A = this chain, B = another copy of it.
């Protein structure tokens, strides 16, 4: 027992963890928060500052001094490290960050995230997350109402890819409840259908779930990126003819690159005819349901069996906030995923254990993802969020009109959403469309400009090849703080960066 007492005696010394010293804890956290406000929130969202400060990996490693050592460091050193981490990180809340399907810093959502982190609980039982169990239910109810459902189920998942996997798993379980116990071996080959424009998580999910990527039948998309319902019908027939059993169609509301919305009514008709589960991957486009003006893009979504919707994207709720919504009222989620672990989901608790969400999911601990969205929604109301969506559409339209006015900018197509895809044609290539190496040379422009903008830190825009098209820019107009001036800046800056090409 002597070594035991030595350790416990040491208790009374100030632990480097600051544990038990509330004054020191508060001082540290206030100091770090000050750094966060100055560096990440103020400078990080200011157009007069860089969106990123590029460093080569080897140099950045040196600057960050990442190694974890035997000895701890002083508070001063820790604060210096916080500054460096923020300094060299990309500012995704910056008005020049157009690179991803998320951008901007919503202060209420951030406030919700800070509270979430300070409370640090898991969403699995009412016992340790009473507020968040009820709140998640209410937020999911609200999202379902926007889909058009007065009842149903749902859950927040760690990202849209996992929401999509959940949908696939639920659909196969509904058709073959035995597969939970017996697996896929005894089943006929299954087939699911999605368009070639769908998110890659459908393929990844099929592999992870043991179905294999071959089970994903790729349906044609039209020139605007929308699934062709006639080809869906044809593919279903082909799969059946090959002896496979169709069970699910995954339609997309807001594709990743073009921002296309699949025709849900026509797809729902096909699903209904064939008795197939309709999943709508609305991770990106779901938030459009808040806009009376634009929600027609998702007409038919109320006919889906499941919807994946990521408010961390267009609503800027913060990574991650991904809801899987279900029309089901038969407790399918719990039946499909439950395992009744007796140490966590005791049945002799003193409250209604139906409140415990843990057996709806395949995880155990689950982060609280509802508070950030709820708090933002309380602050904004439906109206504030609707206005944000409408403004994003309007700014994307403004950008499109400006692109049309300028020389050297060529739209890939008229967008129907806030993804604006276009080529920057540098001076040396203008009017040379008929030159045999035009497309090859044009496809090298976006990567070069990307390198320049990142190294200057002036803005970030994504680019990609797409089908037979060479690299083009995809500007995502999502940051709620954007104005027309930011759109003008973007185009002026591209011209400046590319003037010598």
Q: Report the minimal beta-carbon distance from A316 to chain B, rounded to whole angstroms.
A: 9
Distance A403 CA – B10 CA, assembled complex (angstroms): 23
B114 touches A32 (CB 8 A): yes
- Residue of B at shortest CB range from A348? B447
B20 touches A483 (CB 8 A): yes
Distance A22 CA – B130 CA, assembled complex (angstroms): 34
Check if A7 is an interface residue, CB within 8 A of chain B.
yes
B32 touches A111 (CB 8 A): yes
A66 touches B15 (CB 8 A): no
A379 touches B10 (CB 8 A): no
Distance A448 CA – B207 CA, assembled complex (angstroms): 47
Q: A88: which B residues are within 8 A, CB to CB?
A: 130-131
Q: A70: which B residues are within 8 A, CB to CB?
A: 381-383
Check if A352 is an interface residue, CB within 8 A of chain B.
yes
Interface residues of A in 59-82 (CB under 8 A from B): 60-61, 64, 66-73, 77-78, 81-82
Interface residues of A in 203-257 (CB under 8 A from B): 203-215, 256-257
Q: A199: which B residues are within 8 A, CB to CB?
A: 364
Which residue from B105, B118, B184 sits with its C-beta under 8 Å from A41?
B118
Distance A373 CA – B187 CA, assembled complex (angstroms): 44
Interface residues on A, range: 35 or more
Check if A40 is an interface residue, CB within 8 A of chain B.
yes
Per assembly, the copies of the chain total 2
Interface residues of A in 450-490 (CB under 8 A from B): 450-451, 454, 460, 462-466, 471, 474, 479-481, 483-484
Contact with B along A148-177 (1 / 0, CB 8 A): 000000000011111001000100000000
Check if A107 is an interface residue, CB within 8 A of chain B.
yes
Contact with B along A322-341 (1 / 0, CB 8 A): 00000000000000010101
Distance A107 CA – B213 CA, assembled complex (angstroms): 44
A128 touches B460 (CB 8 A): yes
Which residue from B37, B100, B179, B343 sits with its C-beta under 8 Å from A256?
B343
Interface residues of A in 114-164 (CB under 8 A from B): 114-115, 117-122, 126-132, 134-135, 138-139, 142, 158-162
- Residue of B at shortest CB range from A5? B394
- Residue of B at shortest CB range from A172? B210
A128 touches B100 (CB 8 A): yes
Check if A286 is an interface residue, CB within 8 A of chain B.
no
A107 touches B29 (CB 8 A): yes
B319 touches A158 (CB 8 A): no
Interface residues of A in 11-49 (CB under 8 A from B): 11, 15-20, 22, 24-26, 28-30, 32-33, 36-37, 40-42, 44-46
Which residue from B30, B121, B184, B355 sits with its C-beta under 8 Å from A319?
B121
Distance A364 CA – B322 CA, assembled complex (angstroms): 12
Q: A77: which B residues are within 8 A, CB to CB?
A: 378
Interface pairs (6), CB distance under 8 Å: A29-B114, A82-B111, A127-B460, A179-B210, A184-B212, A185-B187
Q: Report the minimal beta-carbon distance from A370 to chain B, rounded to whole angstroms.
A: 10
Which residue from B25, B92, B117, B210 sits with its C-beta under 8 Å from A209?
B210
A16 touches B384 (CB 8 A): yes
Distance A241 CA – B145 CA, assembled complex (angstroms): 54
Q: Report the minimal beta-carbon distance from A115 to chain B, rounded to whole angstroms.
A: 6
B82 touches A129 (CB 8 A): no
A16 touches B115 (CB 8 A): no
Distance A482 CA – B256 CA, assembled complex (angstroms): 49
B200 touches A341 (CB 8 A): yes
Q: A107: which B residues are within 8 A, CB to CB?
A: 17-18, 24-25, 28-29
B350 touches A33 (CB 8 A): no
Q: Report the minimal beta-carbon distance from A288 to chain B, rounded to whole angstroms.
A: 15
- Residue of B at shortest CB range from A82? B115
Contact with B along A91-115 (1 / 0, CB 8 A): 1110000011010111110110111
Which of A271-279, A385-393, A430-438 contacts the other chain? A385-393
Q: A363: which B residues are within 8 A, CB to CB?
A: 158-159, 161-162, 201
Check if A365 is an interface residue, CB within 8 A of chain B.
yes
Q: Report the minimal beta-carbon distance from A292 to chain B, rounded to whole angstroms.
A: 12
Which residue from B37, B183, B213 sits with its C-beta under 8 Å from A181?
B213
Check if A180 is an interface residue, CB within 8 A of chain B.
yes
Which residue from B41, B131, B159, B464 sits with its C-beta under 8 Å from A25?
B41
Known: A18-B107, A41-B118, A52-B130. 4 other contacts (CB 8 A): A4-B398, A18-B108, A55-B130, A165-B208
B320 touches A365 (CB 8 A): yes
B29 touches A365 (CB 8 A): no
A29 touches B111 (CB 8 A): yes
